[in-house]
Amino acid sequence: MNEKDPDLRICIFGAGAVGGHFAARLAAAGQDVSVVARGSQLPAIRENGLTLISGEQVIQASVAASDNPADLGPQDLVISTVKATALPVLADGIAPLLADHTPVIFAQNGIPWWYGMGLSGSECGAPDLGWLDPDATLAGAIGPARTIGGVIFSSNQLVEPGVVHNDSPARNALVVGEIDDRASERITEIRAALTASGIDSPSAPDIRAVLWSKLINNMTASVLCLLTGRKVSDLAADDQLAETLLVLMAEARAVAASLGYDFGPVDREGLRRAAPDHKPSILQDYEAGRAMEIDALVRAPLAFARHAGVATPALDAVAAQAIALADRARAR
């Protein structure tokens, strides 16, 4: 990180719904923000900047934008908000953004490619996850020393190019942590920059525990939303779907418990209170014809279940349907 300049040069790699949200807040708070954007997002951001609508708040911010990272130059921090399916694109293009000191936060859903790094296999309870980074492409392009884990708690949708609607104005956080769980000055500095911009960033002594706290919902509610075409709040309001979701969540919590992460039980009332009125990103991707994060959200969590010998019949059934749906979508 750059200790001479109080403002950080921060590049958001992937200026979709979440990336656009973070970029707008950080830029409005005075950070030197750029974005790697593609498609219709790029000309919209270049012409009109980014607009974030969050409850009563409207934030408009101008940021440098390009589809070529070389145009943006070395950064103090890169935050990757691309989906797991787009990480090979990041690996191919990120080099011009990296100075000697530049860390990279991987803020994505599901089991990340770096999960088995930083700690020994016995410490993190991970099965072989090499297939999440075929040919070690990401490990070679970024490496463990630069890698920072990130977990997003924020519901967003891109309502038009350059305009993000935040569906969770009371809850927007990016939790960050070193992949070996050590305390570090760069984590302190990053958390301070996020907090100053209005993005909560609580301390995380164990970044994998935070990851599993979100993954339990992603691998159950998000996947069930994909299969039903419903919002999370719709699942909680429907008696049969709510009961199905509770079964799925009990199995997912058993997998997490096998790793030492005990999040306790969930009941119908707790489900109803916590359910956002939001379409999960995997459903948004399906409806938009984009690739879905099946490996990170479905296959990888179940690899942990098999590794630990935890029976997950309901999750297995739902996973089979989600994988089949993704296969059909790819064939279209």
> Which one is catalytic: 4, 83, 214, 279?
214
Of 72, 100, 55, 76, the closest CA to residue 15 belongs to 72
Q: How many helices (H) and strands (E) does the chain have?
A: 15, 11
| Residue 214 designated active-site | yes
d(CA 319, CA 298): 6
Q: Could you identify the residue written with the tokens 């770096």?
A: 114
Burial 87-122 (b: 16+ CB within 10 A, else e): bbebbebbeebbeeebbbbbbbbbbbbbbbbbbeee
d(CA 9, CA 71): 14
DSSP class of residue 219 equals I
Q: What are phi and psi of 154, to 5 degrees?
A: -170, 130
Positions marked catalytic: 214
